[in-house]
Amino acid sequence: MAHQIDPEFTALPLREIADVALEHARSLGVEHADVRIERIRTANLALHDARLETSHDDDERGLAVRVVHDGTWGFAGGLVVDPAAARTLVDRAVEVAKVSKPVTGERIELAAEPAHGEQTWVSSYEIDPFTINEADRIELLADWSSQLLGADVVRHVDAHIKQVRENKFFADLAGTVTTQQRVRVQCQLTALWVDDASGRFETMRTIAAPVGRGWEWLTTGYDWDAELAQLPEFLEEKSKAPSVEPGSYDLIVDPSNLWLTIHESIGHATELDRALGYEANYAGTSFATPDKLGSLRYGSGLMHVTGDRQAVNGLATIGYDDEGVAGQTWDLVKDGTLVGYQLDRRTAALSGIERSNGCAYADSPLHVPIQRMANVSLQPVLGGPSTEDLIAGVDDGLYVVGDKSWSIDMQRYNFQFTGQRFFRIKSGKIAGQVRDAAYQATTTDFWGSMSAVGGPQTYVLGGAFNCGKGQPGQVAAVSHGCPTALFNGVKILNTTKEAGK
């Protein structure tokens, strides 16, 4: 369904502001200049035990100017959105570049990008979540919470909805002018069981992914009724489940869990700025350094991982990034070998790559765009097995569903992940849950052990709203699609024993 871009946003003097800013920047002798005008609406709603706990609606508007002057970056942003403010921000950005010049160790060059003229892009959704009033949103979460609280095993329920509508106007000296609107929603419910005698507790959370969709995700887009009906049963089974016996297992990983492993061990590792060492003092670098491009054996020959800014309903899907680069799709790992990176225009130029693949993003008009993650996805195998087929082929193993906690080192190499529920597999059949389980591996060992990849019928687009990066810190939403997959001989830890309990 085609949607009109927020009329409150388009009513702003967008072109006038851009024309004033760019003409003034040109008169000051810049090599590059771009202007962003943004409106970002964010609503959060949280209930505890079917009662309202938190509700707030944030509306951020602002203007940003970025320049390259005498080979040096300059940036300025502010909350006033008018032509006079734009002219002032240009002066400030150029002054920042001049002050920074003596301490800058490299000349800024940007990879070329063709001018795209005037373009409008709106993400794929049916119902703008901001057209749903607060009372109706509260009523929905309260009803779902009450359903869960009706089960004897459930002591408490937390429920949360977050929704975002993001508008961006971009213009640069090259002649690209884009107006865009993205909508995304996330909903989670968590049920808690408590044993009063011992103090032990267990939780079970819904596994529905955050998506680049609208309110329809909460009504017809996902089978919430079926998941909510099963959740108390899963929680009760987990509360009675035996603690896992640590050891080596064949591990079947559901897309609801595998997306996070992809995010941490592939998504972050193939960001080129990280691989070049630019994130070393905050979120780490990457073992997948540029000298290994085309030779690093990332995983088994079944491994085909793509980056994209084009997936329908993807959280990182855009028409054009925050440098005016058109959305694209490309290979990161092909036949198990590292073949590509995620780029912005600066890192592309640093590495002698002809064109960025559109991975620049700023989460606020007060922040400078940095290289951020695309939708990074493991591709299914055409004609590949179903999840049931994969389970039937395992004699002794585990099947993990849903993400929970994780840990990974600064080079995205050594990691461990837990899950919402681990099912024991014996002789090709599910034999109940176990608890206290985590899987541990190195990135290349884990992906090298992948012996079967599910077909398209198992493919699910997962993801997160809260990927953090940069200093000052920025947050970006990103999706990761994947099928169910089988990994052989994976090390399984007992988290309770590891904690010395």
3-state secondary structure 22-43: HHHHHHCCCCEEEEEEEEEEEE
User: In the numeric block, which tokens belong to residue 245?
Assistant: 């016996």
pLDDT at res. 405: 94
Query: What value, to the nearest 5°, has the Cα angle with vertex 67 and ends 307 and 123?
Result: 35
As a whole number of angstroms, the distance between CA 278 and CA 285 comes to 7
442 pLDDT band, cuts 50/70/90, is very high
- Nearest of 351, 356, 363 to residue 328 by alpha carbon: 356
pLDDT at res. 105: 84
Position 282 pLDDT exceeds 80? no
5 pLDDT band, cuts 50/70/90, is very high
pLDDT at res. 425: 98
pLDDT at res. 408: 96
pLDDT at res. 356: 98
- Mean pLDDT, range 197-219, rounded to an integer: 97
3-state secondary structure 185-237: EEEEEEEEEECCCCCCEEEEECCCCCECCCHHHHCCCCCHHHHHHHHHHHHHH
397-409 confidence digits (pLDDT tens): 999 999 999 999 9
Residues with Cβ within 8 Å of 179's Cβ and at least 6 positions away in sequence, in order, are: 5, 10, 14, 119, 120, 121, 167, 168, 169
364 pLDDT band, cuts 50/70/90, is very high
291-331 confidence digits (pLDDT tens): 999 999 999 999 999 999 999 999 999 999 999 999 999 99
Position 20 pLDDT exceeds 70? yes
Q: Walk me through the domains of the chain, giving residue ranges and CATH numbers.
A: 7-240 (3.30.2290.10), 247-498 (no CATH)
User: In the numeric block, which tokens belong to residue 404?
Assistant: 């929970």
Residues written for the chain: 501
50-72 confidence digits (pLDDT tens): 999 999 999 999 999 999 999 99
Position 501 pLDDT exceeds 80? no
Above pLDDT 70, what percent of the chain? 100
Position 459 pLDDT exceeds 70? yes
| Alpha-carbon distances of 139 from 47, 154, 267, rounded to whole Å | 10, 20, 37
467-494 confidence digits (pLDDT tens): 999 988 999 999 999 999 999 999 999 9
Position 85 pLDDT exceeds 90? yes
221-279 confidence digits (pLDDT tens): 999 999 999 999 999 999 999 999 999 999 999 999 999 999 999 999 999 999 999 87
- Mean pLDDT, range 132-161, rounded to an integer: 98
Q: Is the peptide bond before 472 cis (omega within 30 degrees of 0)?
A: yes
* Residue 263 DSSP class: I
When mean pLDDT is compared across 58-67, 268-277, 281-290, 443-452, the lowest value belongs to 281-290
368-386 confidence digits (pLDDT tens): 999 999 999 999 999 999 9
pLDDT at res. 1: 62
Backbone angles phi and psi of 339, in degrees to 5? -130, -5
pLDDT at res. 281: 75
User: In the numeric block, which tokens belong to residue 274?
Assistant: 């990280």
- Nearest of 101, 100, 78, 70 to residue 21 by alpha carbon: 78
Q: What value does the mean pLDDT of the chain take?
A: 97
